[in-house]
Chain A
Amino acid sequence: MFEIVERQELAQGTIISNWIKAPKIAAKAKPGQFVILRANETGERIPLTMADTDPAKGLINIIYMVVGKSTALFKTLKVGQGYLDVIGPLGQPTHLEKVGKVICVGGGTGVAVLHPITRGLKQVGNYVYGVIGARSKDLLIMEDRMKAASNELMICTDDGTYGHKGFVTDKLRETLQKDKDIKLAVCIGPVPMMKFCCKVTEEFGVKTLVSLNPIMVDGTGMCGCCRVKVADKMQFACVDGPEFDGHQVDWDELNLRLRSYMVEEKVSYDQFKECHGGGKCSCCS
């Protein structure tokens, strides 16, 4: 078992942060890499990009939003309990290089994925603009850690309850207009956000990295479930990615494939909600 040593509820309990004891993974993990987690014997294998690591203590940090049965099940895990399986680090690490000025844009739980990449880019000597956003102030995560990881941090909320009222793309465009020396953008968040960020950066001709989150099974390049079309070529996000050139990604195809199991996901989540707390589901028994 991989024990949870620290647990926090963020964004009104819709987003959960876990620090998990996984010394081998913590020792090896680099920014941009992910792990696959399975809660119990009947559980699914869920890929999550690490938000942080603490190699000295042998810990990894994952931050996820509760969106269905598996993440709801993860949410029930308390400190002292843990995951049956944690596999990693998987995927290609981010290529961290000094290019001068960079802009890192994160939306929703994408901020968690963005965090170690932002910090890494700053550590190698880049000047880093950070932009993070959420629907409203209560749902914004990791403001402090992102502030420390970047040179300047801009905040956006859709409803204007905090920072700039509007989307992260507004601040992205504004910054690219203001500073023509920006050489790289990293945009991570929900698919529509990444797609529109890429449209903006394309106008400015700024190279853009995105981190994709297609459905996966094994995470080692064996099953091909996570195939995405990048520059008209089939790529596996688990071994070729998860980061790709955002200007080359076929976003519509990714969006469709993410909906592969919508019906099943609902069946599973409804059953869980009905049962959970009743002593019959796997997390109660």
Chain B
Amino acid sequence: MTEEVKAPKKEKIPRQKMPEQPATERRRNFQEVPYGYTPELAMHEAERCIQCKDPRCRQGCPVEIEIPAFIKCLKEGDFEGAIRKIWEKNSLPAVCGRVCPQEVQCEGMCILGKKDAPVAIGNLERFAADYQREKGKQILPPKAPATGKKVAVVGAGPSGLTVAGDLLLKGHEVHIFEALHGPGGVLLYGIPEFRLPKAIVAQECNFLERMGAKIEVNSVIGRSETVDELLEKFDAIFLGVGAGLPVFLKIPGEHFIGVYSANEYLTRSNLMKAYSFPEYDTPIVKGKNVATFGGGNVAMDCARTALRLGADHSYIIYRRSMAELPARTAEVHHAEEEGVEFLLLNNPVRFLGDEATGRLTGVEVLKMELGEPDASGRRRPVPIAGSEYTVDIDTAVIAIGSGSNPLLTKSTPGLALNKWGYIVADPKTGKTMKPRVWAGGDIVTGSATVILAMGAGRMASNSIHDYLTMGW
């Protein structure tokens, strides 16, 4: 039976740390940073959960995993039971266990966190998924009887894969169209190997295929086929194409060789495996002095990638201070441990380059100070006049967010777009203005996190299922 918070009589177990590669080693390799829990560590950590009657952690999960229930299974050593419980709500647990910002979601809500460290829910989810994949029996969750309805999912990223997983369980036929040559979206091209091994992404996608999903790669919907053509063949369509338009700084010198958008830098390194050049054919500039502009998780990924590609100095150049850095604290810590240098309160003015070779040689930056809070509630950075100085760099990565890629939206009449070009969709159902078409993830909200895209996918799949079974 469940225990109440007030009565933890047994000896307090501290939050179990996940063993990880030492910073001095990992800063030069692409292997995953944390090693994962052993079964013993996982069971030990699972014991910390007090099995609240009204679990707050579950409210903090965008896909509403039955967290106490799966943790209970782990505690009892029923690892298969744990993964089955998770699968009811989440088809990408190995991914979520690694990249969700648990500290502001499930773990942020955990009652233990009030006085002590919260239960390591993310680590436990990761363990359950990894154990199943590596050591478990080949099992699949039970599927509802076939409905004969067909759904097209455009984009094999976090939102689309979630929609696919949900609708397969409910007995619908799912066909996923992906523009790149492999499924996963940002999980494949964006998040680096050392945070999310690509073999795991492939296996999560393979899981969906074993569940019955058809995944068609190299399909650029909007070009190879239009949404209207898909509507002739499918009962419903989900658009989860991501934001996917690079944003540049719009300062002089962005044409110099060595200046990358974060999308290009990460796509070369992750999707094309440029870190293994020349074994893999795609090259990347392996800079000695690399500056990444921006302060989000993508910026941290770029700065840490630069170190692994052999940089002597990898800088984060950000116009506000450490307190305003939007990246997860854990990511900033990992970056600091590995030797990323933070040039805070600095704003780039122009790139400098060798006009003859076209190569980047430096960036002129202006020092900033914090003024009054702006619309975002954060203190606005104000330039300090005359404080310009030059940082010598041979590679620059611009990681200041992304915009809406118009390739699909422009070729789809009937979709309503907002002023930034994102698809207008009902925030509760994901329904767009175009009949039988739903949308979710970054192409609706602008760039956000993997799990928020998955949450949007969950809402859309519920609405699609209602439509397919009951009509509008």
Among B217, B224, B248, B263, max chain A CB count under 10 A is at B224
B244 near A220 (CB under 8 angstroms)? Answer: yes
**Beyond A223-B264, A225-B261, 13 additional pairs, beta carbon < 8 A:** A42-B279, A88-B220, A217-B282, A220-B179, A220-B405, A220-B407, A221-B406, A222-B244, A256-B255, A257-B255, A259-B358, A264-B277, A268-B278
A28 near B263 (CB under 8 angstroms)? Answer: no
Interface string of B279-304 (1 = CB under 8 A from A): 11111010000000000000000000
**A108-167 interface with B by 8 A CB criterion:** none
Tell me the bound Cα distance from A220 to B248 in angstroms.
17
Q: Which residue of B lies closest to A33 (CB)?
A: B223
Q: Is A224 in the interface zone, CB < 8 Å from B?
A: yes
Q: Is B370 in the interface zone, CB < 8 Å from A?
A: no
B180 near A218 (CB under 8 angstroms)? Answer: yes
A70 near B281 (CB under 8 angstroms)? Answer: yes
B272 near A264 (CB under 8 angstroms)? Answer: no
Residues of the B chain whose Cβ atoms lie less than 8 Å from the Cβ of A69:
281
Residues of the A chain whose Cβ atoms lie less than 8 Å from the Cβ of B358:
253, 256-257, 259-260
Among B219, B257, B263, B264, max chain A CB count under 10 A is at B264
Tell me the bound Cα distance from A220 to B222 in angstroms.
10
A85 near B248 (CB under 8 angstroms)? Answer: no
Q: Is A185 in the interface zone, CB < 8 Å from B?
A: no
Residues of the A chain whose Cβ atoms lie less than 8 Å from the Cβ of B248:
224, 227, 234
Interface string of A75-106 (1 = CB under 8 A from B): 00000000011111110000000000000000
Number of interface residues of A (CB under 8 A): 41
Q: Is B225 in the interface zone, CB < 8 Å from A?
A: yes
Q: Which residue of A lies closest to B245 (CB)?
A: A221
B255 near A89 (CB under 8 angstroms)? Answer: no
Contact A224/B263 with A24-B224, A28-B224, A88-B224 known, Cβ cut-off 8 Å: yes
B283 near A268 (CB under 8 angstroms)? Answer: yes
B279 near A84 (CB under 8 angstroms)? Answer: no
Tell me the bound Cα distance from A271 to B245 in angstroms.
35
Q: Is A265 in the interface zone, CB < 8 Å from B?
A: yes
Q: Which residue of A lies closest to B263 (CB)?
A: A223
Residues of the A chain whose Cβ atoms lie less than 8 Å from the Cβ of B282:
44-45, 217
Tell me the bound Cα distance from A218 to B181 in angstroms.
9
Tell me the bound Cα distance from A89 to B405 in angstroms.
17
Residues of the B chain whose Cβ atoms lie less than 8 Å from the Cβ of A260:
257, 285, 358
Residues of the B chain whose Cβ atoms lie less than 8 Å from the Cβ of A73:
281
